[in-house]
Structure 1
Amino acid sequence: MNEQHDNGALRASLEALPRALRTLHKALIDVETVYFGALGSALEHLQLITHHPHFAWLQPMSALMAALDEALDEPGKLTRQAAAGWRAAIEELVGPGTPAGAPFRTKYLVLLHDSPEVAMAHGALRRLLGRI
Protein backbone atom coordinates (compact mmCIF):
# COMPACT_ATOMS: atom_id res chain seq x y z
CA MET A 1 0.00 0.00 0.00
CA ASN A 2 2.77 2.41 0.94
CA GLU A 3 4.54 1.74 -2.38
CA GLN A 4 1.33 2.54 -4.28
CA HIS A 5 0.96 5.79 -2.33
CA ASP A 6 4.59 6.71 -3.06
CA ASN A 7 4.08 6.00 -6.77
CA GLY A 8 0.87 8.05 -6.79
CA ALA A 9 2.58 11.01 -5.12
CA LEU A 10 5.51 10.71 -7.49
CA ARG A 11 3.20 10.58 -10.51
CA ALA A 12 1.27 13.63 -9.22
CA SER A 13 4.51 15.60 -8.86
CA LEU A 14 5.65 14.61 -12.35
CA GLU A 15 2.25 15.33 -13.89
CA ALA A 16 2.46 18.93 -12.65
CA LEU A 17 5.73 19.45 -14.56
CA PRO A 18 4.32 19.60 -18.12
CA ARG A 19 1.96 22.44 -17.19
CA ALA A 20 4.80 24.37 -15.56
CA LEU A 21 7.06 23.73 -18.55
CA ARG A 22 4.36 24.88 -20.97
CA THR A 23 3.84 28.08 -18.95
CA LEU A 24 7.56 28.76 -19.04
CA HIS A 25 7.80 27.86 -22.73
CA LYS A 26 4.94 30.23 -23.57
CA ALA A 27 6.58 33.05 -21.59
CA LEU A 28 9.82 32.49 -23.52
CA ILE A 29 7.96 32.49 -26.84
CA ASP A 30 6.08 35.67 -25.90
CA VAL A 31 9.32 37.53 -25.12
CA GLU A 32 11.05 36.20 -28.23
CA THR A 33 8.06 37.23 -30.33
CA VAL A 34 8.32 40.80 -29.03
CA TYR A 35 12.04 40.79 -29.83
CA PHE A 36 11.35 39.36 -33.29
CA GLY A 37 8.81 42.01 -34.28
CA ALA A 38 5.40 42.22 -35.89
CA LEU A 39 3.75 38.99 -36.94
CA GLY A 40 0.78 38.08 -39.07
CA SER A 41 -1.77 35.41 -38.26
CA ALA A 42 -1.60 32.74 -35.58
CA LEU A 43 -0.61 30.23 -38.27
CA GLU A 44 2.28 32.46 -39.39
CA HIS A 45 3.33 32.75 -35.75
CA LEU A 46 3.32 28.97 -35.37
CA GLN A 47 5.34 28.60 -38.58
CA LEU A 48 7.91 31.07 -37.27
CA ILE A 49 8.19 29.36 -33.90
CA THR A 50 8.70 25.94 -35.46
CA HIS A 51 10.87 26.87 -38.46
CA HIS A 52 12.57 30.26 -38.10
CA PRO A 53 16.18 30.31 -36.82
CA HIS A 54 15.29 33.08 -34.34
CA PHE A 55 13.21 30.58 -32.36
CA ALA A 56 15.37 27.48 -32.95
CA TRP A 57 17.05 27.73 -29.55
CA LEU A 58 13.70 26.75 -27.94
CA GLN A 59 13.68 23.31 -29.61
CA PRO A 60 15.42 21.46 -26.75
CA MET A 61 12.67 22.56 -24.35
CA SER A 62 9.95 21.65 -26.87
CA ALA A 63 11.47 18.18 -27.33
CA LEU A 64 11.79 17.64 -23.58
CA MET A 65 8.15 18.62 -23.04
CA ALA A 66 7.01 16.17 -25.73
CA ALA A 67 9.11 13.34 -24.29
CA LEU A 68 7.79 13.96 -20.77
CA ASP A 69 4.20 14.00 -22.02
CA GLU A 70 4.80 10.66 -23.77
CA ALA A 71 6.36 9.13 -20.66
CA LEU A 72 3.46 10.24 -18.48
CA ASP A 73 0.98 8.76 -20.95
CA GLU A 74 2.49 5.31 -20.30
CA PRO A 75 0.37 3.42 -17.77
CA GLY A 76 3.33 1.75 -16.06
CA LYS A 77 4.73 2.50 -12.67
CA LEU A 78 7.08 5.46 -12.33
CA THR A 79 10.25 4.95 -10.36
CA ARG A 80 12.15 7.42 -8.24
CA GLN A 81 15.06 6.86 -10.61
CA ALA A 82 12.93 7.89 -13.60
CA ALA A 83 11.69 10.97 -11.74
CA ALA A 84 15.26 11.91 -10.87
CA GLY A 85 16.17 11.54 -14.54
CA TRP A 86 13.40 13.93 -15.59
CA ARG A 87 14.45 16.42 -12.93
CA ALA A 88 18.07 16.24 -14.13
CA ALA A 89 17.01 16.69 -17.77
CA ILE A 90 15.01 19.79 -16.92
CA GLU A 91 17.80 21.19 -14.77
CA GLU A 92 20.25 20.70 -17.64
CA LEU A 93 18.10 23.17 -19.56
CA VAL A 94 17.05 25.75 -16.98
CA GLY A 95 19.62 25.23 -14.23
CA PRO A 96 21.22 24.75 -11.88
CA GLY A 97 22.55 21.56 -13.48
CA THR A 98 25.39 21.47 -15.94
CA PRO A 99 23.99 22.83 -19.21
CA ALA A 100 23.27 20.20 -21.84
CA GLY A 101 23.08 22.84 -24.53
CA ALA A 102 25.02 26.05 -24.10
CA PRO A 103 23.01 27.96 -26.75
CA PHE A 104 19.75 27.25 -24.91
CA ARG A 105 21.10 28.11 -21.46
CA THR A 106 22.80 31.30 -22.67
CA LYS A 107 19.62 32.63 -24.27
CA TYR A 108 17.48 31.38 -21.39
CA LEU A 109 19.50 33.23 -18.76
CA VAL A 110 19.18 36.49 -20.71
CA LEU A 111 15.40 36.16 -20.88
CA LEU A 112 15.22 35.05 -17.25
CA HIS A 113 16.74 38.41 -16.30
CA ASP A 114 14.81 40.44 -18.90
CA SER A 115 11.28 39.19 -18.29
CA PRO A 116 9.32 39.08 -15.03
CA GLU A 117 6.96 36.53 -16.61
CA VAL A 118 9.85 34.20 -17.42
CA ALA A 119 11.26 34.68 -13.92
CA MET A 120 7.91 33.84 -12.30
CA ALA A 121 7.42 30.75 -14.49
CA HIS A 122 11.00 29.69 -13.73
CA GLY A 123 10.33 30.03 -9.99
CA ALA A 124 7.16 27.94 -10.23
CA LEU A 125 9.03 25.23 -12.12
CA ARG A 126 11.87 25.24 -9.58
CA ARG A 127 9.36 24.81 -6.73
CA LEU A 128 7.89 21.77 -8.48
CA LEU A 129 11.33 20.31 -9.13
CA GLY A 130 12.10 20.70 -5.43
CA ARG A 131 9.32 18.22 -4.64
CA ILE A 132 10.82 15.50 -6.83
Structure 2
Amino acid sequence: MTAPSPVRTQLNALASALRHFHSALLDVAKSEYEFREGHIEGPFALYSLVMNHESFQWLRPLSGLMATLDEVTDSKTELTARNVHDVEHALGLLMGSVGTEFADFRAGYARASADPKVKETEARWRDLLAQASAVAATEGAPGSLEA
Protein backbone atom coordinates (compact mmCIF):
# COMPACT_ATOMS: atom_id res chain seq x y z
CA MET A 1 0.00 0.00 0.00
CA THR A 2 1.34 3.39 -0.96
CA ALA A 3 1.36 6.40 1.30
CA PRO A 4 -1.31 9.02 0.66
CA SER A 5 -0.22 12.02 -1.36
CA PRO A 6 0.67 15.21 0.51
CA VAL A 7 -2.45 16.91 -0.89
CA ARG A 8 -4.71 14.06 0.29
CA THR A 9 -3.08 14.14 3.72
CA GLN A 10 -3.61 17.90 3.98
CA LEU A 11 -7.23 17.72 2.80
CA ASN A 12 -8.00 14.88 5.23
CA ALA A 13 -6.61 16.96 8.09
CA LEU A 14 -8.65 19.95 6.91
CA ALA A 15 -11.81 17.82 6.71
CA SER A 16 -11.27 16.70 10.29
CA ALA A 17 -10.71 20.27 11.46
CA LEU A 18 -13.88 21.42 9.69
CA ARG A 19 -15.84 18.69 11.52
CA HIS A 20 -14.59 20.09 14.83
CA PHE A 21 -15.52 23.61 13.71
CA HIS A 22 -18.98 22.43 12.70
CA SER A 23 -19.38 20.69 16.06
CA ALA A 24 -18.47 23.89 17.90
CA LEU A 25 -20.98 25.85 15.82
CA LEU A 26 -23.61 23.18 16.46
CA ASP A 27 -23.00 23.45 20.20
CA VAL A 28 -23.72 27.18 20.01
CA ALA A 29 -26.84 26.64 17.90
CA LYS A 30 -28.01 24.00 20.38
CA SER A 31 -27.47 26.36 23.32
CA GLU A 32 -29.41 29.12 21.55
CA TYR A 33 -32.25 26.72 20.83
CA GLU A 34 -32.36 25.40 24.40
CA PHE A 35 -32.36 28.94 25.79
CA ARG A 36 -35.48 29.72 23.74
CA GLU A 37 -37.26 26.36 23.66
CA GLY A 38 -36.01 24.27 26.57
CA HIS A 39 -33.79 21.22 26.96
CA ILE A 40 -33.30 18.89 23.99
CA GLU A 41 -33.93 15.31 25.10
CA GLY A 42 -30.99 13.34 23.77
CA PRO A 43 -29.02 12.90 20.57
CA PHE A 44 -31.93 11.61 18.46
CA ALA A 45 -34.04 14.65 19.28
CA LEU A 46 -31.07 16.88 18.45
CA TYR A 47 -30.54 15.04 15.17
CA SER A 48 -34.19 15.54 14.26
CA LEU A 49 -33.95 19.24 15.06
CA VAL A 50 -30.74 19.66 13.08
CA MET A 51 -32.33 17.99 10.08
CA ASN A 52 -35.71 19.70 10.27
CA HIS A 53 -35.84 22.81 12.46
CA GLU A 54 -35.19 26.26 11.05
CA SER A 55 -32.96 27.16 14.01
CA PHE A 56 -30.29 24.85 12.63
CA GLN A 57 -30.65 25.49 8.89
CA TRP A 58 -27.87 28.07 8.86
CA LEU A 59 -25.37 25.22 9.37
CA ARG A 60 -26.36 23.40 6.19
CA PRO A 61 -23.97 25.13 3.77
CA LEU A 62 -21.01 24.09 5.92
CA SER A 63 -22.45 20.57 6.25
CA GLY A 64 -22.74 20.34 2.48
CA LEU A 65 -19.20 21.60 1.94
CA MET A 66 -17.91 19.03 4.42
CA ALA A 67 -19.83 16.21 2.70
CA THR A 68 -18.37 17.21 -0.65
CA LEU A 69 -14.86 17.37 0.80
CA ASP A 70 -15.34 13.90 2.29
CA GLU A 71 -16.43 12.57 -1.12
CA VAL A 72 -13.35 14.09 -2.75
CA THR A 73 -10.92 12.72 -0.16
CA ASP A 74 -12.58 9.29 -0.23
CA SER A 75 -12.24 9.03 -4.00
CA LYS A 76 -9.55 6.86 -5.49
CA THR A 77 -8.49 9.57 -7.95
CA GLU A 78 -5.30 11.51 -7.49
CA LEU A 79 -5.86 14.72 -5.57
CA THR A 80 -4.11 17.78 -6.88
CA ALA A 81 -3.55 21.40 -6.10
CA ARG A 82 -6.79 22.10 -7.99
CA ASN A 83 -8.71 20.29 -5.24
CA VAL A 84 -7.11 22.53 -2.62
CA HIS A 85 -7.98 25.60 -4.67
CA ASP A 86 -11.59 24.42 -4.95
CA VAL A 87 -11.85 24.04 -1.16
CA GLU A 88 -10.26 27.47 -0.66
CA HIS A 89 -12.77 28.96 -3.06
CA ALA A 90 -15.76 27.27 -1.41
CA LEU A 91 -14.67 28.35 2.07
CA GLY A 92 -14.01 31.85 0.77
CA LEU A 93 -17.56 32.05 -0.57
CA LEU A 94 -19.01 30.70 2.66
CA MET A 95 -16.97 32.80 5.07
CA GLY A 96 -16.45 35.90 2.95
CA SER A 97 -18.51 39.04 3.08
CA VAL A 98 -19.38 39.20 -0.61
CA GLY A 99 -22.77 38.04 -1.85
CA THR A 100 -25.97 37.09 -0.09
CA GLU A 101 -26.11 33.38 -0.91
CA PHE A 102 -24.73 32.38 2.49
CA ALA A 103 -26.07 35.30 4.54
CA ASP A 104 -27.87 32.96 6.97
CA PHE A 105 -24.67 31.03 7.62
CA ARG A 106 -22.72 34.24 8.16
CA ALA A 107 -25.36 35.54 10.60
CA GLY A 108 -25.22 32.30 12.60
CA TYR A 109 -21.45 32.31 12.49
CA ALA A 110 -21.41 35.94 13.70
CA ARG A 111 -23.51 34.94 16.72
CA ALA A 112 -21.19 32.02 17.44
CA SER A 113 -17.84 33.62 16.66
CA ALA A 114 -17.17 34.86 20.21
CA ASP A 115 -17.37 31.33 21.61
CA PRO A 116 -13.87 30.14 22.62
CA LYS A 117 -14.32 26.68 21.05
CA VAL A 118 -15.49 28.24 17.79
CA LYS A 119 -12.45 30.55 17.78
CA GLU A 120 -10.09 27.67 18.51
CA THR A 121 -11.52 25.33 15.88
CA GLU A 122 -11.70 28.09 13.27
CA ALA A 123 -8.06 28.97 13.85
CA ARG A 124 -7.18 25.30 13.39
CA TRP A 125 -8.96 24.84 10.05
CA ARG A 126 -7.59 28.15 8.76
CA ASP A 127 -4.06 27.06 9.69
CA LEU A 128 -4.56 23.70 7.98
CA LEU A 129 -5.96 25.39 4.90
CA ALA A 130 -2.87 27.61 4.73
CA GLN A 131 -0.69 24.50 5.04
CA ALA A 132 -2.66 22.74 2.30
CA SER A 133 -2.29 25.80 0.10
CA ALA A 134 1.46 25.79 0.68
CA VAL A 135 1.65 22.10 -0.25
CA ALA A 136 -0.46 22.80 -3.33
CA ALA A 137 1.80 25.70 -4.30
CA THR A 138 4.75 23.31 -4.44
CA GLU A 139 2.71 21.39 -7.01
CA GLY A 140 2.19 24.52 -9.06
CA ALA A 141 -1.44 25.47 -8.36
CA PRO A 142 -3.00 28.86 -7.93
CA GLY A 143 -5.09 29.77 -4.94
CA SER A 144 -5.46 31.87 -1.87
CA LEU A 145 -8.30 32.30 0.57
CA GLU A 146 -9.84 35.73 0.87
CA ALA A 147 -11.95 35.31 3.98
> Which residue of structure 2 aligns with residue 79 of structure 1?
80
Match runs of 1:45-84 below 5 Å: 45-84=46-85
Cα distance in 1 between the residues matched to 2:55 and 2:128: 29
TM (norm. structure 2) is 0.78
> Which residue of structure 2 aligns with residue 40 of structure 1?
41
Letter of the structure 2 residue corresponding to residue 65 of structure 1 = M
Listed one character per residue, the Cα deviations across residues 29-70 of structure 1 (whole Å, up to 9, x for unaligned) are 111111111111211111001110000010001111111101
Q: Which has the higher helix share?
A: 1
Listed one character per residue, the Cα deviations across residues 80-127 of structure 1 (whole Å, up to 9, x for unaligned) are 1121111211222234x74551211122122112x0110100000110
> Which residue of structure 1 aligns with residue 111 of structure 2?
110
Q: Aligned pairs, how many? A: 125
> Which residue of structure 2 aligns with residue 19 of structure 1?
16
* Percent of residue pairs identical: 32
State the shift of 1:78 in Å. 1.1
Give the unaligned 5+ runs of structure 1.
none
Cα distance in 1 between the residues matched to 2:111 and 2:48: 24
Give the unaligned 5+ runs of structure 2.
134-147
- Does the residue aligned with 2:15 lie in a helix, a strand or coil? helix
